[in-house]
Structure 1
Amino acid sequence: MATRRITQETFDAVVRENIEDFEMDAGDALKEAIEQFESQGVDISNIVKEIPTAASSGEKSDDQAHKILQVLELLRTSVATKTPVEDNLRSFSEQCSLGFAQRHLAAQKDAYPTILSCCQVALEDKNALSSALPALSALTDGQPDLLDAQGQDFLLNALHTHQDDPMVSGLVVRVVRHCCLKHEQNRQDLVKAGMLSVLTRAITQHKTHPDVVKEASAALRVMTFDDDVRVPFGHAHDHAKMIVLEHSGLKVIIDAAKAHPQNTSVLSELCSTLSRLAVRNEFCQDIVDLGGLNFMMSLLADSLECQELVKQVLSALRAIAGNDDVKDAIVNAGGVDLIVLAMNRHMANAHVCEQGCAALSVLALRKPNNCKVIMENGGAQAVLQAMKTHPGEAGVQKQSCMLLRNLVSRTRDFSQPILEMGAEALIGQALVAHRDCVDEGKAALRDLGCQVELRQLWTGKKGGLIH
């Protein structure tokens, strides 16, 4: 059933009615309106939950408006009268940063044409752009539908005009990322216009500027997403191949990572993007050949205390281990020991445990020798401890079941030791708690030699599908 929504005007009218007709104070009136709509099942996440105020004390109550709209009106006046807009742009950005509701309300009142106009006027002036671009970035955050053809042209022109300026490049790329997240058409349009070349060039050209590297890497990663529910098929895989084959994306990412050996936030972004580019067997091997595997092994060993970086490195290892030769390379480089060590170090973090189990599961798949190494390095104990620690996390339980199944599917000798650690009960609990784990859990129990009910959904008896 579609979620019910209301307009900002409807919400404000109810608040005003509570104040004027029911003589509530402002705080109680606001609280009552929120509770009323929530009890009716109305989604008010896009509503500014504040009392509108007058722009000046002399104005009548009918002229009251939310602060974001007051700032927008001041900005429009400045544009119309050709007076400086920088202060109003900064105020607009500050208001948008308060939450999605403010951004949504501004967009509903046609803020986008005004902000884009300010950006277009400031195209040649990097100082003016430093105020206009954050406003455009703030407005489009979570609202990629706002971007139109004029906006796309502006973004590309700005990146070309100021390609030597790291500050402006970083600001423009942030807008690109906001406008491509959950919007397949924007991605395709910008890719066709040459955005992938611009983004990879920005990373190479500004390799020593962490903010640009992070923004451009994140924008490249978004180009490989398939997250727009409005389209049946996206071009995520094609974009990933283009980044690698046409723009040397793997080398660009790995070289940038080597330029920031101590910057964990930059390295986390780059590892996350690298994992999105390992979409073909040969790409996984290319990452190894370019020195990416050795770099990740050193990174994991040196940064075990940084949870976010550990999670991203484990995710990247999981991705490149899709290649059977790379599986062996990871194991031979001591990867199993480091993965288990990382899981034990951050056992309380569900994301680390999930990625660790997933990485070990891929390493174990069709590789009995790798399974032996995992068992010898305490992998089974680590995965079972992760299941105990995170019983409510479906991702952890699912990846754990997959790993346990892969450990014993071709090496039955490991079944008894794993069962003696309590695996059967933990898998049973996962089956009860998480529907997403049913297939993986039953497969693990079956290969461990346990009794399991493999229910047939349809046997083909008692009539066909067509009568």
Structure 2
Amino acid sequence: MAPTKNVRTISQEAFDELVKENIDDLGMDPAEALEDAIQTLSLQGVDLSGIVKCVPGEGGIKDHPAMQCLDKLKQLNADSKDQFGGQDLVQITALLNDLSELCISNKEDSGNAAIVAKNGGIELVCLICSKIPTKSRQCLVSCFKAMASLLTDVQSTESFRASGGPKIVVGILSDGIRDLDILKSGFTVVAAAASGNEVVKQSLMDLRVDELILQVLSGQTQGSIQSLYDAIRVLLTSDDNRVVASEVYGYARRFAKIGIAKALVESLHGGISSPSLVSASIALKAVAVNDEICKSIADAGGIDVLLKCVDDSGEQRNKTVARTCCSLLSKLAGSDSNKSAIVEKGGMDKLIKLSARFSDDPSVLQEVRD
């Protein structure tokens, strides 16, 4: 693994002290002192994520809503030696729901996740998750949602890994293999944790997450699990800039070898009306990394179902499906035998017809040409 770039950081105490010095020593008013501290540190390349930026006397880190929530969770955790039970589970579920709401990335105050992570939130949530009884389904789902909301960068995913997060999550997913909500929220954590982190990907693969994925895809669970397809895509994407040579190519071959490629083809048979068609197609494209796998996808009926979806997407003017299916078809056409099969099955005529229907959409036309 390539060396990571050193990032300058600062503690909450040091930040607060700098603001105080601006007021006491330089005579700045509080708002000016705060702004000056932020600008000065930013110009020096200091990472201020996770720092509560407030004027002294107008609320500090202890008054921050996310930190208050975290402190309550810490207390409940400290009071419980082993598994949680009874009223504790009710309180923990409510607090975890509050925490995920405060930290979810698309909320206005997205810095909350960094603040919680900087103050031991990921380690705490992992520990709490390990102490929730398997039968406490709602609490586990809430814990997974809170966990996913905190995994926003490499630092947070490293904390997750160091806290035993991969083993905890895979263990719970294995126990809850038939519970749709557990699977949805759990694979959301898998996708978030593996994103941009090669070491977490390896940890998950060492725990045989691929076999778990195959179990779910093989029809043991009813319902569409969007996050499952996201997890496949992330696990097979080389997106860690610290790594010179990623292992994801080998993971894709392993996925195909145990039958995930064929299982994904099966999931495409729901056609254009399936809510998972686009996600499953993207996941399948990530698995199709060599000629042998591309051929196996064709042998499993992948080309037939894709050409049907291409036709239907044109008739229903669904450009998202059109783009995605053409992109996957292009990947499969990397195999010479698949090229011939596409032509023999009338694929060229279908693509020409699709181009005519989306003649005003460059994004679709680009995928058709490719």
* Length-normalised TM-score, structure 1: 0.65
Q: 1:102 to 1:62 in 2, by over 3 A?
A: closer
Matched AA of 2:94: D
Structural mapping, 1:233-312, within 5 Å: 233-246=245-258, 248-259=259-270, 261-264=272-275, 266-304=276-314, 305-312=317-324
Contact 2:50 2:117 in 1 (8 A): no
Contact 1:90 1:135 in 2 (8 A): yes
Deviation for aligned residue 1:162: 1.2
Deviation for aligned residue 1:158: 0.5
Matched AA of 2:75: T
Q: SS of the counterpart of 1:303? A: helix
Match of 1:51 in 2: 54
Contact 1:19 1:29 in 2 (8 A): yes
Please list every run of 5 or more consecutive structure 2 residues that lacks an aligned counterpart in the other structure.
Answer: 81-87
Deviation for aligned residue 1:80: 2.5
Matched AA of 1:7: I
Identify which of 152, 155, 175 aligns with 2:169.
Answer: 155
Deviation for aligned residue 1:129: 0.8
Match of 1:144 in 2: 157
Contact 2:310 2:325 in 1 (8 A): yes
**Separation (CA, whole Å) in 2 of partners of 1:23 and 1:341:** 68
Deviation for aligned residue 1:254: 1.3
Match of 2:178 in 1: 164
**Separation (CA, whole Å) in 1 of partners of 2:8 and 2:362:** 34
Deviation for aligned residue 1:64: 4.8
Q: 1:228 to 1:156 in 2, by over 3 A?
A: same
Match of 1:355 in 2: 367
Which of the two has higher C-alpha Rg?
Answer: 1
Contact 2:333 2:339 in 1 (8 A): yes
**Separation (CA, whole Å) in 2 of partners of 1:182 and 1:327:** 33
Match of 1:401 in 2: none
Match of 2:93 in 1: 86
**Separation (CA, whole Å) in 1 of partners of 2:341 and 2:368:** 17
**Alignment of 1:133 onto 2:144:** yes
Contact 2:10 2:48 in 1 (8 A): no
**Alignment of 1:22 onto 2:28:** yes
Contact 2:178 2:221 in 1 (8 A): no
Identify which of 234, 237, 242 aligns with 1:222.
Answer: 234
Contact 1:330 1:336 in 2 (8 A): yes
Match of 1:75 in 2: 73
Deviations 1:203-258 (A, max 9, x none): 22356411x2x222221222222222222222211111111112x11221011221
Match of 2:201 in 1: 187
Structural mapping, 1:388-407, within 5 Å: none
Q: 1:293 to 1:85 in 2, by over 3 A?
A: same
Deviation for aligned residue 1:101: 3.1
Deviations 1:388-410 (A, max 9, x none): xxxxxxxxxxxxxxxxxxxxxxx
Q: SS of the counterpart of 1:234? A: coil
**Separation (CA, whole Å) in 2 of partners of 1:327 and 1:44:** 50
**Separation (CA, whole Å) in 2 of partners of 1:155 and 1:167:** 14
**Alignment of 1:121 onto 2:131:** yes
**Separation (CA, whole Å) in 2 of partners of 1:228 and 1:32:** 34
Deviation for aligned residue 1:311: 2.2
Matched AA of 2:244: P
**Separation (CA, whole Å) in 2 of partners of 1:15 and 1:339:** 63
Matched AA of 2:205: V
Deviation for aligned residue 1:199: 0.8
* Length-normalised TM-score, structure 2: 0.80
Q: Provide the identity percentage.
A: 20
Deviation for aligned residue 1:161: 1.3
Deviation for aligned residue 1:286: 2.0
Q: SS of the counterpart of 2:111? A: helix
Matched AA of 1:236: V
Root-mean-square deviation (Å): 3.2
Identify which of 112, 121, 134 aligns with 1:111.
Answer: 121
Q: SS of the counterpart of 2:178? A: coil
Deviation for aligned residue 1:153: 2.1
Matched AA of 1:23: D
Contact 1:199 1:219 in 2 (8 A): no
Match of 1:196 in 2: 210
**Separation (CA, whole Å) in 1 of partners of 2:117 and 2:213:** 27
Q: Which has the higher contact order (CA 8 A, sep 6+)?
A: 2
Contact 2:19 2:33 in 1 (8 A): yes
Deviations 1:346-390 (A, max 9, x none): 567665454333x2xxxxxxxxxxxxxxxxxxxxxxxxxxxxxxx
Deviation for aligned residue 1:176: 1.4
Deviation for aligned residue 1:89: 0.9
Paired residues, number: 346
Q: SS of the counterpart of 1:85? A: helix
**Separation (CA, whole Å) in 2 of partners of 1:224 and 1:355:** 21
**Separation (CA, whole Å) in 2 of partners of 1:24 and 1:154:** 45
Q: 1:130 to 1:37 in 2, by over 3 A?
A: same
Deviation for aligned residue 1:273: 1.1
**Separation (CA, whole Å) in 2 of partners of 1:72 and 1:335:** 56
Deviation for aligned residue 1:113: 2.1
Q: 1:298 to 1:69 in 2, by over 3 A?
A: same
Deviation for aligned residue 1:179: 1.5
Please list every run of 5 or more consecutive structure 1 residues that lacks an aligned counterpart in the other structure.
Answer: 55-59, 360-467
Q: 1:95 to 1:53 in 2, by over 3 A?
A: farther
